[in-house]
Amino acid sequence: VQLQASGGGLVQPGGSLRLSCAASGFTLDDYAIGWFRQAPGKEREGVICINNAVGVGSTYYDDSVKGRFTISRDNAKNTLYLQMNSLNSEDTAVYYCAAHARRTQDSGLYYCLRPYVFDYWGQGTLVTVSS
């Protein structure tokens, strides 16, 4: 079982990036998945989380990214995406994708507040927003 994150890089303020998270060994669309980030000197925080066992209604967006970031999934490729628009310096962080490989009825908010419940983590990809 593996999650492979990619797509990070340097982007100017106001720019966009799309992060990818390819899963192998299990199917993303059956379980809770999320994007987290950790900025230097700060704790890891949940950005967007969704419990696919519940459906899109479970999606949680942190206030800091609402209207700018979106999550999507390509089931054929078993890949999760994070589209990030209108980036600013506060978005600079290492971004991680994660999956909780048990079917539950918990909300996306539940998962974003509890990174410790996730079973699998990608290696992290660095996003730097700077001019």
pLDDT in tens, 11-57: 999 999 999 999 998 888 788 999 999 999 999 999 999 998 888 88
Could you tell me which of 103, 123, 116 has the C-alpha nearest to residue 46? 116
Average pLDDT over the chain reads 93
What does the pLDDT average to over 79-87? 96
* Residues 64, 45, 36, 19, CA torsion sign: positive
At 100 the pLDDT is 92
